[in-house]
Structure 1
Amino acid sequence: MSESTEVINELLQSIGVDTVYRTASLTLLENGESRYLRDLKLNFTSTLKSEHLSAKECGLLGLGVAVNNNNLPLTNFYTKYAAEEGASGEDIAEAAACASLLASNNIFYRFRHFTQKEKYSQIPARIRMQIMMKPVTGKEFFELMSLTISAVNGCEMCVNAHEDSLIKLGTTEERIFDAVRIASLITATGKIIF
C-alpha cells in the first residue's frame, strides 16, 4: 500500500467513511502520490480543535458549513461529532437551519450590494428570519455561524454586518478568525470528499 493510500485511509476512517470510497479528485491525488494529502488530513483534523471555540462549537460550525456546501459525508461526520461533544438535537437543527437561511440571505444581500441601487434597498426583503431573534445556540454563536457561512458564500455585505454584530457582542477577533479558518478548511476538505 502506498503512503498516499495510507493517508487517504486514515482520513476516510476519521470521517467515518469506508476506505474503499473514492471521488475523482481523491483518486487524482492518490495516483499522483500528492504530498497535499497529508496537509488535507492535518487541516481536517484541525477543524475539531480551537483555542477560541469549544469542541461542540467546532462541530456545529462544521455542520453548518457542510450543510451549506451540500456535503453528505461531512454533514454526517459533524452531526455525530457535535452530538458527541454535547450538542442537542435543537442545536444541530439550528446549525442546519442557519445554513439554509444564510443561503437565501447571502444571495439576496449580495444582489443588493452588487447593484448598489437605492430602490432595491427600499423594497422589503420578505425573507422570514425568526430563528435569528431567539436562537437556541445563543445570539453570539448564531452570529458566528452566520458569519462563517456568509464568508463561504462570498457575501461581503453579510460578512461585514455579522462581524460588526459579533464585535458589538464582545466577541474577540481571534474567535471570529478561527471560526472562518475552520470554515475554510471544511470547504477545502469538501472539494475532495463529497
Structure 2
Amino acid sequence: MSESTEVIREILNTIHADPEHRTPALLLLEQGESRYLRDLKLNFSSILNSEYLSQKEIGLLALSIAVNERNDLMISFFKKFAAEHESSQEEIAEAAACASLLASNNVFYRFRHFTQKEKYSQIPARIRMQIMMKPVTGKEFFELMSLAISAVNGCEMCVNAHEDSLIKMGATEERIFDAVRIASLITSTGKIIF
C-alpha cells in the first residue's frame, strides 16, 4: 500500500467514513502520490482542538460550515462530534439553520455592498431573521458562526458587521481568528473529501 493510500485511509477513518471512499479529487491526489495529503491530514486534525473554542463549539461551528458547503460526509461527522460533546438537538439544528440564513444574508448584503447604491440600502430586506434574536446557542456564539460562514461565503459587509458585534460582546480577536481558521480548513478539506 502506498503512503498516499495509507494517509487517505487515516483521514477517512478519522471522519468515520469508508476507508475505500474516493472522490475524483482524492483519486487525483492518491494517484499523484501528492505530499499535500499529509498537510490535509494535519490541517484536518488541527480543527478538532482549539485554545479559544470548546469541543462543543468546534463541533457546532464545523457543522454549520459543513452544511454551508453541502458536504454530507462532514455533516455526518460533525453532527456526531457535536452530539458527543454535549450539543443538544436544538443546538445542532440551529447550526444548520445558521448556515441557511447566512446563505441568504450573504447574497443579499454582498449585492448591496457591490452595487454601492443608496437606493438598495433604503429598500427593506424582507428576510426573516427571528433565529438571530434568541439563539439557543447564545448570541455571541451565533454571531461567531455567522462570521465564519460569512467569511467562507465572501461577504465583506457581513464579516465586518459580525466581527464588530463580536468585539462589542467581548469576544477576543484570537477566538474570532480561530473560528475563521477552522472554517477555512473545513472548506479546504471539503474540496477533496465529500
Interval of TM-score (by shorter of Structure 1 and Structure 2): over 0.9
CA offsets, 1:100-156, max 9 Å, x none?
Answer: 000000000000000000000000000000000000000000000000000000000
TM-score by length of 2: 0.99
The one-letter code sitting in structure 1 at the alignment partner of 2:57 is E
CA offsets, 1:81-111, max 9 Å, x none?
Answer: 0000110000000000000000000000000
Matches within 5 A, 1:16-165: 16-165=16-165
Larger CA deviation: 30-39 vs 152-161: 30-39
TM-score by length of 1: 0.99
CA offsets, 1:50-71, max 9 Å, x none?
Answer: 0000011000010000000000
Tell me by how many angstroms 1:20 deviates.
1.1
Paired residues in the alignment total 194
Q: What are the ranges of 5 or more consecutive residues in structure 2 without an aligned counterpart?
A: none
Tell me by how many angstroms 1:23 deviates.
0.5
SS of corresponding position for 2:144: helix
Question: Which residue does the alignment assign to 1:177?
Answer: 177
Q: Distance in 1 between matches of 2:99 and 2:143?
A: 12
SS of corresponding position for 1:152: helix
Q: What are the ranges of 5 or more consecutive residues in structure 1 without an aligned counterpart?
A: none
Tell me by how many angstroms 1:165 deviates.
0.0
The one-letter code sitting in structure 2 at the alignment partner of 1:126 is R
* Percent identical residues: 78
